[in-house]
Amino acid sequence: MNLFSQDKPKANPEKVRDIKNWVYRILNVNPDIPISISQLTCQEPGCPPIETVIAIMTQPVKQYKIHKTVDEIDELDICNLY
């Protein structure tokens, strides 16, 4: 059973850049550490249709999930990750 669609919804690159900047600033992440933003479509029952996964590539990797599309995320969502 494939839980995630192969056709990922497209995220706005400018909004992805904004989210990364918010993560660096609000979560006080060193700017040398890469951040990955992935918008996923979930096919599993009970799973939200789209979620955004934020991965901060530290050792170990810190991962956060927001049950919104990239375009719906704002600074407050990043503040709530604390």
Q: Domain coordinates of the chain in residue numbers?
A: 13-79
Q: What is the pLDDT along the chain (82 residues), one digit of tens a residue?
A: 455 545 556 789 999 999 999 999 999 999 999 999 999 987 778 878 899 999 999 999 999 999 999 999 999 999 999 8
Dist. CA 5–CA 75, nearest whole Å: 28
pLDDT on residue 1: 47
Buried b / exposed e along 20-47 (16+ C-beta atoms within 10 A): bebbbebbebeeeeebebebbbeeeeee
pLDDT on residue 45: 83
pLDDT on residue 10: 79
